[in-house]
Each structure stands twice: as C-alpha cells, then as structure tokens.
Chain A
Amino acid sequence: DAGVTQSPTHLIKTRGQQVTLRCSPISGHKSVSWYQQVLGQGPQFIFQYYEKEERGRGNFPDRFSARQFPNYSSELNVNALLLGDSALYLCASSPDPNSNQPQHFGDGTRLSIL
C-alpha cells in the first residue's frame, strides 16, 4: 500500500508569491494534518482536516489556508510568502482525528523562499 504522498518534493519561491502544496493520504485514512518544520526544530501543527471540515488550527497567520477534497486529499496554500516561511512542510494522515492510531507522515515538501 502506498504511504502518504506529497508534491512537489522541493519548491523555490520569492517573497510575496503564493504556493500550493499537495498531499494524498494513506488509503482509508480520512484525516489529514499539516505541519511546518523549520531547520533545527520539531514540527509545528498548522491544520487538521477530517471529512472536508477543518478540525483544528495551530497558531499560524491567515496567510495559511487549507482544504480537503472528497477523496480525502488535501492542499495547503500560503499567500504573501515571507522569508520565514522557508521550511519543510509535512503532511500526516490517520484514520480519524480521535484515533489512537499514529499519524503517518509523508516525505515532506521543502520550501525555500528567496
């Protein structure tokens, strides 16, 4: 079975631009979460989606938005990019938000802002 897949793997943007990152969860997983990991730190929670509804939101500005599609895949959008948005963006899936099952992560998208 395929794991969590994310695209693209690498991305270079300039300040002020907008970016869209994509995630496909493990088959059968209906919950998708997004995390930001800056260099040298642990991942920080951005969003959680379940059944196309936002279930949780971390402490990130409104420039960050996301959505989940009927097939449970998800997109993370970041507008008006800042240098500080340079990070590894990780997507994780789980069967449902309240499950004790672990969240399984994709390989991430490395976003560099010039």
Chain B
Amino acid sequence: AQKITQTQPGMFVQEKEAVTLDCTYDTSDPSYGLFWYKQPSSGEMIFLIYQGSYDQQNATEGRYSLNFQKARKSANLVISASQLGDSAMYFCAMREDNQAGTALIFGKGTTLSVSS
C-alpha cells in the first residue's frame, strides 16, 4: 500500500491565485514528520515546509502553508499568490523511522503550472 498519496498528477493556476496540492499519508507510528519539496525542471529538490505529528499549529513559511488534518491523515500544501516561478513538480514526503535511521518516503508528485 502506498504510504504517501498525491492524487493530482497536474494542477493549473493563474498568477496571484492560491492553489492547494493534496497529500494523504498512511502510518501507524504516532511520531512522524511530513515534508514538502519543490523540484524544478533542473532537478534539484528544494525544501519548502515541515510539519511534525505533534505540532499543534499548521506550519507556515512565507507563501507556503500546510493544512494538516491529523485525523484524516492529510497534509495539503497551500501556495498563496502563485508566481510564474512556482511552476515545478511538488513532492509530499513522510519521515519514516527505519531501525536506527530515517528515510523519506515520497509520493509520486504533482506538476504545478502557473500561467500569466
């Protein structure tokens, strides 16, 4: 079973509009972390935002916010006031404890296209 599900292969938005990218996760571990990364066509993975499972408040970082609904196991990324430079692939990832270490489990990603 997939541990991270991103159901939107592609999303389209106009400049200055807000957009929500969906992410649901599956874990039985009470302690986990959720991350969003941006990957432009050049390939580098850019960290955007982090939410811990015990965090009481939704994480925010500038124009990025994370709509964390623990009971629904969802961690949607909200980008406000989209910009052309936001066009990229976006990945949701969960930190999974792997014996003594940690691994990031990634979803399949959502391609965001921002138009003027």
Which residues from chain A sit less than 8 Å from chain B, CB to CB?
Answer: 31, 33, 35, 40-45, 48, 50, 55-58, 88, 90, 92, 97-98, 100, 102-108, 110
Which A residue sits closest to B9, measured CB to CB? A40
Which residues from chain B sit less than 8 Å from chain A, CB to CB?
Answer: 4, 33, 35, 37, 42-47, 50, 52, 91, 93, 95, 98-109
Q: Which single member of B45, B47, B52, B103 contacts A56 (CB below 8 Å)? A: B103
Closest Cβ–Cβ distance, residue B16 to chain A (whole Å): 28
Q: Which single member of A35, A97, A105, A110 contacts B101 (CB below 8 Å)? A: A97
CB atoms of B45 and A48 under 8 A apart: no
Q: Contacts A42-B109, A43-B45, A107-B43 hold; do A102 and B50 have CB atoms under 8 A apart?
A: yes
Closest Cβ–Cβ distance, residue A55 to chain B (whole Å): 3
Which B residue sits closest to A99, measured CB to CB? B102
Q: Which single member of A56, A57, A90 contacts B102 (CB below 8 Å)? A: A56
Q: Which single member of A31, A44, A97, A108 contacts B43 (CB below 8 Å)? A: A108
- Given A90-B45, A92-B45, output 10 extra A-B contacts at Cβ < 8 Å: A31-B101, A42-B106, A43-B104, A45-B105, A55-B101, A56-B99, A97-B100, A102-B35, A103-B35, A104-B47
| Separation of A61 and B59 alpha carbons in the complex (Å) | 37
| Separation of A33 and B50 alpha carbons in the complex (Å) | 18
| Separation of A100 and B35 alpha carbons in the complex (Å) | 10
What are the 8 closest A-B residue pairs judged by CB atoms, nearest first? Answer: A55-B101, A42-B106, A56-B101, A105-B45, A56-B98, A45-B103, A48-B101, A97-B101
